[in-house]
């Protein structure tokens, strides 16, 4: 089963994404913020990361930069899950190495489609 | 597959309420630290989270409003807008609007226009923004989950009935792998949209084998495909890599009406196959391209289903919303659920597991009982007791919440009063982490609001008055919580004018509370403000007053088996102290016998127990019976007489006079000796409310069911302390007596019904 790491500080959002992904047949790992995500990644490998950008402790952009430095995660897809409609944020994310983005609020079916789109 | 996320709505509402509280505290702190970036970031994140979730549940007003708010906060983060009093005032009012929007009945509000206060404030927020907003309405639309099928999609599908031949040139940058993109995935997604007739591999950038870097992409592709999709849909495949690749999509204007061609794979003739494989060691792209037969009819059916789905979904969610809202308690949608950390629950499960094991072991021993295994049996029963006790504590712990969650809201109260009255007031809090039973926290809300309002409105003086009195202009209200002697103490302390005892006296005489000639100590006079119908402020101000007085504070606190007391020094301020039991549901009890009854005394109130001989009892005029212990005279209360428990036999009476005991208890601010016949032991008791089935009886806080199934009343020690003891020593009130008999009889009957280990209905 494909494993996805969900990173978001809002519990409700995390649970909604988690629920959607489980419905879509994915295994899910959850993290509260960037640092938590890095800690989780130290113990497990995942096939894809879905991360919020605005988070306490470590934001999404910093997380992406860090993940891209990990040999095991260098070429794994990372999607930004964000309400940011601002192009600047997207650009920052892309520059940091994000594969793509999903705009919150997300449509569950669309989320699954997008995931399928970037997973090899 | 239809995924229904409406089940997460309640969680979102709860979470948002927390965010709103955080925003409010943050904003109030921002006033004193306008440059605190972390604080601002926190507030921004809260608004951001609410916005993100609001869209998911179609809460468009909430989404719209938080969007504006977020906008302003973002400008504050970038220092374009300063955190002036005006800005913070507007933001604080926004917090109220958010609260209202969140509380709004979900089944009606979303189709209505946004409430007037929200519209008004929204305009105000926009007015605070310099220049034109960077986040425009178009981006906001993105932030709302589309509730209607997108029209453009319909048009696209209509057009796409015809098959178009496309030529898609995809030349990724060398760095494309660094974004986590696999070009093969993209090609596969593209292939899924139609039938690939030709895939051409560009190898012109391919370096010599020795120069190959496997982290770089050297290849490019041109795919020819026949598809029902529009060029836009094809481009969507490359949505995420537009900045990392050259993508050219061209369509031949002739439509392809023939049956899709067989998949053709054209190998570039002038390239060496081995080199390609080395450059792209995964799978050869073309080999994995597949061409599913997409039938037009099928595509249409999919579309029809999709169009139906959102409507259905909306209907469904409306119904469930109604259900949800009708299930909500009347009090403004306050949730009755508790969020519990998962590790707390895990520990409970562990404990239950241990309990089950201990039970199995005990049962086994009882089954094959031999006298020799008695010590083992004892041990095993002791283990069960330990488990049960810990389980009790942990379950109660789940109900405990830090008082900080309640304290937070008072910053706002004080801020508002300071604004309206022109006073300068600072609210200082301590002990916010002190945990208190959730039900008590709820009961505490109103009394504390009242006390804080009183302190700010009546207590703290106007700046000029303070200056004249040689005090700092800024008045300080302290809100403290701490543990003392197994109880929770909450204090509201202000450095204002203090209570004018003379005024209190006059007022009490005017309102007929006391007779003009009554002699009372200052302390007694001060306590009069807790009497019903008492108010000292000349005109009832807009802020406090409103007909409710400190008597409400007292009543609510007493309802929780707590006490209120007050100390005041003229010109120096006043402190109101509320003392509460840790929890309402379980207490450590001292079992005593009074005549033929077993009573429970809260152990925490017990200071000591002394043998009491008749000759030690001294009668003092105006005070009744007292006993002198180590030079201190302590008033006595004969529990038997007070509770109307009469001696059943002559034997008991005789035995009584010899072995009687005085249990010295701390009752509020004084010590009282309770006269009992025997100490029976100590155990944890579950407090059952009397009021639920019977009426409240002064001096009793409830009852409990003992191990043998009997009902034992629990003595309300603090309640007794607040009563006038002398009058209580007079013959007992007949009504009280009959009520007690009545209630014990009925409670005993109900306990019979409840036997079988049911210990539900924790108070």
Calpha distance B560→B584 (Å, rounded): 7
pLDDT of res. B331: 35
Give pLDDT, residue B663: 93
Give the pLDDT confidence of A7-28 residue by residue, as tens digits: 998 888 888 899 888 888 888 9
> B652-660 long-range contacts, Cβ below 8 Å, gap at least 24?
B652/B595, B652/B596, B652/B677, B656/B595, B657/B614, B659/B611, B660/B611, B660/B612, B660/B613, B660/B614
The model carries a pTM of 0.53
pLDDT of residue B485: 67
Residue B610, φ and ψ in degrees, nearest 5:
-130, 145
Pairing of strands B563-569, B624-629: unpaired
Sheet holding B245-255, edge to edge: B194-202, B220-227, B164-172, B245-255
Judged by phi (left if over 0) then psi (alpha if -120 to 50, else beta), residue B181 lies in: beta
Please check whether residue A106 is in contact with residue B145, taking contact to mean a CB–CB distance below 8 angstroms. Answer: yes
CA angle A100, A4, A47 (to 5 degrees): 75
CB pairs under 8 A between A and B: 115
Q: How many domains does the structure of chain A reveal?
A: 1
Contact A83 B143 (CB under 8 A): yes
CA distance B158 to chain A (A): 21
Kindly list the residues of chain A whose beta carbon comes within 8 Å of any beta carbon in chain B: 9-13, 15-16, 19-20, 23-24, 54-56, 68, 74-78, 83, 85-86, 94, 97-101, 103-109, 112, 117-120
- Average pLDDT of the residues in A55-63: 88
Does any CB of chain A come closer than 8 Å to the CB of residue B51? yes
Rounded distance, CA B121 to CA A69, Å? 46
pLDDT value of residue B146: 45
Q: Which residues pair with A4 in a beta bridge?
A: A28, A48
- The token duo for B450 is 């009242």
B10 at A interface, C-beta within 8 A: no
Residue of A nearest to B9 (CA): A12
**Residue A51 pLDDT > 70, yes or no?**
yes
* Residue B74, CA distances (Å) to A101, B130, B629 in order: 21, 12, 69
CB pair distance less than 8 Å for A83 and B52: yes
pLDDT at B154: 45
Residues on chain B touching A10 (C-beta within 8 angstroms): 15, 49, 52-53
CA distance linking residue B349 with residue B391, whole number of Å: 9
DSSP B614: G
Cβ–Cβ below 8 Å for A106 and B145: yes
Whole-angstrom distance, CA of residue B709 vs CA of residue B140: 65
Place of tokens 């007053």: B545
pLDDT at B585: 66
Q: What is the pLDDT of residues B357-401, one digit of tens each?
A: 888 888 888 888 888 888 888 888 888 888 888 888 788 778 788
C-alpha B430, offset from chain centre: 19
The residue range of the domain holding A105 is 3-118
Positions of E strands within chain A: 3-7, 27-31, 48-51, 78-82, 100-103
Q: Which residues contact B291 (CB under 8 A, 6 or more apart)?
A: B191, B194, B195, B196, B260, B263
Instruction: Kindly identify which residue of chain A lies nearest to residue B147, measuring between CA atoms.
Output: A107
Element (H, E) at B66: helix B60-77
CA-based nearest residue in chain B for residue A90: B240
How far off is chain A from B289, nearest CA to CA, in Å? Answer: 13
> What pLDDT sits at residue B321?
39
* Strand-pair partners of B224: B167, B198
Among B708, B728, B732, which Cα is nearest to B720's?
B728
Tracing tokens 């470590």 back to the chain, one arrives at A58
Task: For residue A58, list chain B residues with Cβ-Cβ distance below 8 A.
Answer: none
Distance from CA of B141 to the nearest CA of A (A): 10
Q: What is the ipTM of this complex?
A: 0.82
Instruction: Name chain A contacts of B143, Cβ cutoff 8 Å.
Output: 83, 85, 103-105
- CA nearest to B443, candidates B580, B317, B346, B641: B580
Six token digits for residue B133:
């907003």
pLDDT in the model for residue B304:
35
CATH code, domain carrying A95: 3.40.50.2300
Q: Which residues of chain B have pLDDT under 50?
A: 132-160, 255-335, 537-547, 649-652, 729-737, 751-763
Q: Are B314 and B58 in contact (CB under 8 A)?
A: yes
Mutation test of the interface with chain B: which of A5, A21, A85, choosing the one with the most B Cβ atoms within 10 A? A85
B318 close to B357: Cβ distance less than 8 angstroms: no
What confidence score (pLDDT) does residue B701 get? Answer: 78
């Amino acid at each position: 089963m494909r494993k996805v790491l969900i990173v978001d500080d809002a519990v409700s959002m995390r649970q909604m994404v988690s629920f959607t992904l489980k419905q879509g047949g994915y295994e899910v790992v959850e993290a509260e913020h960037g640092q938590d995500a890095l800690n989780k990644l130290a113990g497990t490998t995942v096939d894809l990361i879905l991360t919020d950008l605005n988070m306490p402790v470590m934001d999404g952009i910093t997380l992406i930069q860090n993940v891209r430095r990990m040999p095991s995660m260098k070429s794994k897809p990372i999607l930004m899950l964000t309400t940011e409609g601002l192009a600047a944020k997207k650009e920052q994310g892309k520059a940091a190495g994000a594969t793509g983005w999903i705009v919150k609020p997300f449509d569950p079916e669309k989320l699954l489609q997008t995931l399928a789109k970037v997973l090899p | 597959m239809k995924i229904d996320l409406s089940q997460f709505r309640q969680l979102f509402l709860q979470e948002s309420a927390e965010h709103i509280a955080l925003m409010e505290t943050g904003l109030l702190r921002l006033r004193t630290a306008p440059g605190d970036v972390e604080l601002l970031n926190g507030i921004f994140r809260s608004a951001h989270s609410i916005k993100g979730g609001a869209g998911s549940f179609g809460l468009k007003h909430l989404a719209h409003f938080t969007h504006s708010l977020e906008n302003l906060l973002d400008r504050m983060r970038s220092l374009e807008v300063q955190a002036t009093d005006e800005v913070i005032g507007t933001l604080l009012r926004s917090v109220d609007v958010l609260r209202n929007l969140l509380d709004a009945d979900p089944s009606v509000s979303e189709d209505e226009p946004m409430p007037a206060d929200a519209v008004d404030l929204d305009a105000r927020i926009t007015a605070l923004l310099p220049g034109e907003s960077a986040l425009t309405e178009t981006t906001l639309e993105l932030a709302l989950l589309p509730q209607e099928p997108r029209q453009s999609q319909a048009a696209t599908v209509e057009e796409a009935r015809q098959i178009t031949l496309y030529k898609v040139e995809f030349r990724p940058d060398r760095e494309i792998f660094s974004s986590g993109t696999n070009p093969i995935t993209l090609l596969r997604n593209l292939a899924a949209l139609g039938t690939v007739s030709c895939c051409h591999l560009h190898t012109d950038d391919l370096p010599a084998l020795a120069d190959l870097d496997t982290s770089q992409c050297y290849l490019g592709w041109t795919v020819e495909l026949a598809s029902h999709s529009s060029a836009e849909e094809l481009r969507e495949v490359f949505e995420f890599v537009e900045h990392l690749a050259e993508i050219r999509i061209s369509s031949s204007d002739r439509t392809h009406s023939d049956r899709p061609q067989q998949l053709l794979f054209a190998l570039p003739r002038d390239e060496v196959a081995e080199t390609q494989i080395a450059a792209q060691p995964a799978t050869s792209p073309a080999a994995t391209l597949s061409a599913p037969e997409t039938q037009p009819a099928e595509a249409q059916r999919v579309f029809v289903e999709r169009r139906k789905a959102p409507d259905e979904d909306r209907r469904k969610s409306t119904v469930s919303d109604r259900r949800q809202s009708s299930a909500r308690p009347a009090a403004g949608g306050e949730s009755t659920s508790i969020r519990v950390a998962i590790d707390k629950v895990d520990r409970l499960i562990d404990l239950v597991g241990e309990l089950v094991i201990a039970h199995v072991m005990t049962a086994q021993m009882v089954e094959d009982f031999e006298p020799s295994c008695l010590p083992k049996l004892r041990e095993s029963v002791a283990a069960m007791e330990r488990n049960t006790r810990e389980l009790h504590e942990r379950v109660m712990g789940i109900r405990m919440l830090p008082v900080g969650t309640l304290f937070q809201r008072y910053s706002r109260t004080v801020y508002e009063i300071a604004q309206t009255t022109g006073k300068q007031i600072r609210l200082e809090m301590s002990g916010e982490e002190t945990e208190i039973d959730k039900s008590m926290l709820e009961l505490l809300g109103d009394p504390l609001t009242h006390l804080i309002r009183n302190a700010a409105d009546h207590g703290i003086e106007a700046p000029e008055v303070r200056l004249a009195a040689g005090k700092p202009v800024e008045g300080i209200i302290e809100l403290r919580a701490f543990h003392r002697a197994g109880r929770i103490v909450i204090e509201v302390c202000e450095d204002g004018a203090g209570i004018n005892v003379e005024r209190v006296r006059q007022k009490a005489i005017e309102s007929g509370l006391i007779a003009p000639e009554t002699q009372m100590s200052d302390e007694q006079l001060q306590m009069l403000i807790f009497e019903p119908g008492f108010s000292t402020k000349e005109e009832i101000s807009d802020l406090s007053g409103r007909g409710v007085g400190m008597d409400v504070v007292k009543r609510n606190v007493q309802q929780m088996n707590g006490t209120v007391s007050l100390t005041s020094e003229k010109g120096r301020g006043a402190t109101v102290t509320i003392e509460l039991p840790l929890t309402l549901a379980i207490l450590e009890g001292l079992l005593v016998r009074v005549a033929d009854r077993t009573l429970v005394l809260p152990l925490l109130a017990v200071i000591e127990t002394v043998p009491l001989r008749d000759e030690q009892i001294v009668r003092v005029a105006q005070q009744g019976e007292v006993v002198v212990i180590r030079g201190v005279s302590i008033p006595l209360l004969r529990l038997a007489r007070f509770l109307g428990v009469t001696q059943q036999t002559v034997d008991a009476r005789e035995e009584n006079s010899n072995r009687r005991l005085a249990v010295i208890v701390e009752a509020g601010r004084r010590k009282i000796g309770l006269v009992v016949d025997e100490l029976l032991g100590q155990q944890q008791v579950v407090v059952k409310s009397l009021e639920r089935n019977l009426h409240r009886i002064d001096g009793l806080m409830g009852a409990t069911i003992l191990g043998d199934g009997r009902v034992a009343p629990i003595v309300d020690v603090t309640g007794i302390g607040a009563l006038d003891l002398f009058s209580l020593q007079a013959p007992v009130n007949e009504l009280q007596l009959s009520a007690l008999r009545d209630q014990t009889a009925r409670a005993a009957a109900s306990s019979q019904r409840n036997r079988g280990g049911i210990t539900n209905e924790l108070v």
